[in-house]
Amino acid sequence: MDTISLKLFQGIGRYGVLLALLALILFGWLRYDNFLGAFNVLSVLRYNSMFALVALGMCFVIITGGIDLSVGSTAALSSVAAALLSPYGVLPGLLGGLAAGLAVGACNALIITRLNILPFITTLATMLAASGCALLLAENQSVSVSYESGFTELGQGDFLGFPIPAWIALAAYLLGSLVLNLTSFGRTVLAIGGNEDAARLMGLPANKVKALVYLASGGLSGLAGVILAAQFGAGQPIEGVGWELFAIAAVVVGGTLLTGGVGSVGSTLAGVLLLGLIFNILNFENGLGWISLSAYWQSVIRGAFLLLVVAIQARLSMRTEEAA
């Protein structure tokens, strides 16, 4: 393959999303008065930190060549678990939600690595199961969190003037980036996605690494669920529908190949923010009063955006193939 176009391809995959994000921010800053005002920035970050956490787990899973459809309902289950435990304090709520997420992740890991069932099907099943468990736990309704224990701080509080959920997401992304680039675990994740059989024959602990990746995805979804409960003051058994596909879209927009083997943590974050900002800008646009687009346009625009990104990616990779 031609090196220059390969580099170009990888470069655009890596930085294209950042450029697009900057362009979108610039557009918003020029067009709307309070776009970069503290209130708007912080609320965008606060709201999207949940998706960021879910997308981070998804990013690792997709790099191994897998997929995790259960993240949304796992988050819902965790939000219920966290809400139920919130009267006992911040820590029990946090740990309860996390544990619920890890439990679903562990189920995924076991089924995928022990029973050798495709991730798509496995996580489709656990998605249903987690959703069922959430409804059972919550008895088919939202569960209010306790406002006395300080649990809601996890979603609504600030630390050093910055939303706590955003701190959590930031820490997770720093850790994720470190793990992917500077540990042998991270390199094995990339190798498995590039060619799982080869990785196995190379003597890499493919099953163990895959199991850990699904466990991590479950844990991160659990964390997102905790933030969900804390932010909206209730455990929501029917939330999380479509989160998995949103997360996949964010990861793909970030330039991670769905076939696995190539991916970046930072670009995933940019992908999340990009998709999140589309909603934000839509609100501002309506606020200007020139046009009035219903909220339903949000998904249409997101879909169109995803189409645009993958079409560009496809074009580029076809170019590189032809050059080879």
Partner 1 sequence: MAPLLTMHGIDKRFAGIPALRGAELLVERGEVHALIGQNGAGKSSMIKILTGYHRKDAGEILFDGDAVEFSSPQEAQRAGISTIYQEINLVPYRSVTENICLGREKRRFGLLDWSAMHAEARALLARFNIDVDVHRSLMVYPTAVQQMVAIARAIGFEAKLVVMDEPTSSLDEREVEVLFDVIRQLKASGVSVIFVSHKLDELYAVCDRVTVMRDGRTVQVAPMDQLSRLDLVTSMLGRELTQVLQEPRDAPLSEGDGCKPVLKVQNLAVGRKVRDVSFEVHSGEIVGLAGLLGAGRTESALAVYGAERPDSGTITFAGRENAIAAPSDAIRAGIGFCSEDRKLEGIIPDMSVRENLTLALMPQLARRGIVDEVRSREIVDRFIKRLGIRCSGPEQRIRELSGGNQQKVLLARWLCMNPKLLILDEPTRGIDVGAKAEILSLIRELAGQGLGVLMISSELEEVVEAASRIFVLRDGHTVAELTGDAVTEQTVMDAMAHGHDSAREAAHV
Partner 2 sequence: MSETATTLSTEHRASRVDTRILLTRHGAWIALVLLILVNLAITPNFATWQTLNVNLTQVCTIVIVGVGMTLVIATGGIDLSVGALMAIAGALAPLIFLGKLFPLPHPAIGIALAFVIPVLATGALGWFNGWLVTHLRIQPIISTLVLFIAGRGIAQVFTNGNLQVFNLPSFQFIGLGRVFGIPFQAILMITIVGIAAWMLRRTVFGRQILAIGGNERAARLAGVPVASVKQRVYLISGLLSGVAGLIVIARNSAADANLVGLGMELDAIAAVAVGGTLLTGGRATVVGTLVGALIIQLVRYTLLANGVPDAAALVAKAAIIVLAVWLQRQSHR
Q: How open is the CA angle 8-10-16, to the nearest 5 degrees?
A: 80
> Please, which residue, 1 or 293, has the CB nearer to partner 1?
1
Return the range that interacts with partner 1 (CB under 8 A); candidates 35-43, 86-94, 133-141, 177-185.
177-185
Exactly one of 49, 64, 113, 126 binds partner 2 (CB under 8 A); which one? 126
Question: What are the phi and psi torsion angles at 194 (to 5°)?
Answer: -70, -40
Q: Tell me the C-alpha distance between 38 and 104, whole Å.
A: 37
Number of residues that bind partner 2 (CB under 8 A): 49
159 sits in which H/E element: strand 158-159
Does 118 bind partner 1 (CB under 8 A)? Our answer is no
Residue 103 CA to residue 198 CA, distance in Å, equals: 30
**Beta-bridge partner residues of 93:** none
Distance CA 249, CA 13 (A): 14
Q: Does 131 bind partner 2 (CB under 8 A)?
A: yes
Tell me which of 125, 170, 278, 282 binds partner 2, using CB under 8 A: 125
Q: How far apart are CA 101 and CA 99, in angstroms?
A: 5
Q: Which tokens go with 57? A: 């787990």
Q: 8, 12, 24, 135: which one contacts partner 2 (CB under 8 A)?
A: 135
Tokens of 33: 């008065």
Residue 45 binds to partner 1 (criterion: CB under 8 A): no
Binding status of residue 300 toward partner 1 by CB under 8 A: no
Q: Which stretch binds partner 2 (CB under 8 A): 7-15, 109-117, 168-176, 184-192?
A: 109-117
Q: Which amino acid is at 258?
A: L
Helix pair 265-288, 38-63: axis angle to 10 deg: 140
Give the C-alpha separation, 71 to 104, whole Å: 9
Q: Which is nearer to partner 1, 55 or 190 (CB)?
A: 190
**Taking CB under 8 A as the rule, does residue 116 contact partner 1?**
no
Look up residue 86 and give its DSSP letter.
G
The verdict on 190 binding partner 1 (CB under 8 A) reads yes
For the segment 260-319, give every residue that binds partner 2 (CB under 8 A): 294, 296-300, 302-304, 306-307, 310-311, 313-315, 317-318
Judged by CB under 8 A, the residue of 6, 117, 179, 278 near partner 2 is 117
- Whichever of 73 and 188 has its CB closer to partner 2, that residue is 73
Q: How far is the CB of 59 from partner 1 (least distance, A)?
A: 16
What single-letter amino acid sits at 220? L
Question: What residues make contact with partner 1 under the rule CB under 8 A?
Answer: 1, 3, 6, 178, 181-184, 187-188, 190-191, 194-195, 197-205, 261-262
